[in-house]
Structure 1
Amino acid sequence: MDLDTQIKELESDLNEVLRLIESSGRKRVQTVLKQEQQKIEKELVQKRQLKEKQSKRDSGDTSTVKGYTVKISNYGWDQSEKFVKIYITLKGVHTIPAENVEVTFTEKTFVLLVKDLDGKNHQMTINNLLCPIDVQESSRKVKTDMVIVMCKKAAAKKWDCLTQVEKIAKDKEKPNYDANADPSEGLMGMLKKMYTEGDDEMRRSINKAWSESQEKKAKGDEVDI
Structure 2
Amino acid sequence: MASTLEELQKDLEEVKVLLEKSTRKRVRDTLTSERSKIETEINNKMQQRPQKKPELDSEKPAAVVAPLTTEYTVKISNYGWDQSDKFVKIYITFTGVHQVPTENVQVHFIERSFDLLVKDLNGKNYSMIVNNLLKPISVESSSKKVKTETVIILWRKKAENTRWDYLTQVEKECKEKEKPSYDTETDPSEGLMNVLKKIYEDGDDDMKRTINKAWVESREKQVREDTEF
TM-score, length-scaled by structure 2: 0.57
**What's the secondary structure of 1:171's corresponding residue?**
helix
1:63-82 deviation digits (Å, cap 9, x = unpaired): xx971111111111111111
Measured in 1, the distance between the counterparts of 2:146 and 2:156 equals 17
1:166-205 residue pairs with structure 2 within 5 A? 166-178=171-183, 182-190=187-195
Cα pair 1:112 1:123 within 8 Å, conserved: yes
Cα pair 1:67 1:119 within 8 Å, conserved: yes
1:181, CA displacement in angstroms? 5.2
Measured in 2, the distance between the counterparts of 1:160 and 1:197 equals 20
Measured in 1, the distance between the counterparts of 2:213 and 2:195 equals 16
Unaligned residue ranges in structure 2 (runs of 5+): 1-68
Measured in 2, the distance between the counterparts of 1:196 and 1:77 equals 26
Cα pair 1:66 1:116 within 8 Å, conserved: no
The equivalent residue for 2:39 is none
Aligned residues: 157
1:182, CA displacement in angstroms? 4.0
1:189, CA displacement in angstroms? 3.2
Unaligned residue ranges in structure 1 (runs of 5+): 1-64
- Shift in alpha-carbon separation, 1:158–1:212, aligned structure 2, 3 A: closer
Measured in 2, the distance between the counterparts of 1:209 and 1:188 equals 13
Query: Relative to structure 2, which stretch is displaced further, 164-173 or 137-146?
Result: 164-173
Measured in 2, the distance between the counterparts of 1:84 and 1:180 equals 40
Which one of 158, 166, 188 corresponds to residue 161 of structure 1?
166
Cα pair 2:71 2:125 within 8 Å, conserved: yes
- Shift in alpha-carbon separation, 1:177–1:97, aligned structure 2, 3 A: same
Which one scores higher on RCO, CA 8 angstroms, separation ≥ 6? 1
1:195, CA displacement in angstroms? 8.8
**Percent of matched pairs sharing the same residue:** 62
The equivalent residue for 1:41 is none
The equivalent residue for 2:55 is none
Measured in 2, the distance between the counterparts of 1:195 and 1:84 equals 33
Which one of 126, 129, 134 corresponds to residue 130 of structure 2?
126
- Shift in alpha-carbon separation, 1:219–1:170, aligned structure 2, 3 A: same
TM-score, length-scaled by structure 1: 0.58
RMSD over aligned Cα, in angstroms?
A: 3.3
**Bigger fraction of residues in helix:** 1
